Amino acid sequence: MKNKKVLIIDDDADFLYLASLLFKKAGATVLTARDGLEGISKLFAHQPDLRILDVRMPGLNGFEVCRRIRQISDTPIIMLTALNDEQEMLHGLGAGADDFLSKPFNPQILLARARTVLRRTEHLPAQEETIRANDGNLSINVETRVVLINGKRIKLTPLEFRLLAYLIRNPGKVLTFQQILANVWGTEYRGNLDYVHVYISHLRNKIEENPKQPRYILTVHGIGYMFER
């Protein structure tokens, strides 16, 4: 975490103090905010590398803050909640979070997840390669991370791009949910299938003409997904 800037947004003063100590000991520079508006203000002022964001805060809740951040920034977001609620997790991922943790949790798990999402962002493939679907409508430049649909650039987050690049490099091959998790998120996410489903939905909404009847990302029911080129 050395040379990384972490912004923690949470209205719990005790958690802010403990989380700040955790990341400072790991070598990060830590910024804190007690509500969503203060967090967004510090985001603009300091451009942190990672945001850690609580769901339930006064004023703007964490979901709305996450959506606003995603409108202007692709850097990683980890959301936190005091409830072990699957719907809240899906809501957070749907708002654009890269990861989601339920309180209470082992602080070392939070630190490990933070390192993981930063590593995923920094180590996307850097090959001089342009991949095109057979119909010519969809193309991906892996080096520049540019995705075009009918010549129009589509904005993807780093995680969305990583997922699409993995799918398109394996055309016509059925990729299981666990294979996708291991290759896109990492082996420590084994069993968290909701991450795959939510982000496949994100991609379909961005690259498919009709997300409900996809032409590129096909569902293989009960097994996984397949990219049809």
99 with 166, same domain?
A: no
pLDDT at position 34 is: 93
* Selected residue with higher pLDDT from 3 and 125: 3
Q: Which residue, of 99, 122, 145, is where some domain finishes?
A: 122
The interaxial angle of helices 13-25 and 107-122, nearest 10 deg, is 60
Q: How many CB atoms lie within 10 A of CB 18?
A: 11
Tens-digit pLDDT profile for residues 116-165:
889 877 655 444 456 665 566 888 887 777 888 888 998 888 888 889 98
Share of the chain above pLDDT 70, in %: 93
Tens-digit pLDDT profile for residues 183-222:
998 888 888 888 999 999 989 999 998 999 999 999 999 9
116 with 168, same domain?
A: no
103 with 152, same domain?
A: no
71 with 148, same domain?
A: no
Question: In terms of residue numbers, what domain contains 112?
Answer: 5-122
Greatest Cα pair distance, the chain, in angstroms, is 55
71 with 135, same domain?
A: no
Tens-digit pLDDT profile for residues 24-39:
999 999 999 999 999 9
pTM for this predicted structure: 0.77
pLDDT at position 77 is: 94
134 with 92, same domain?
A: no
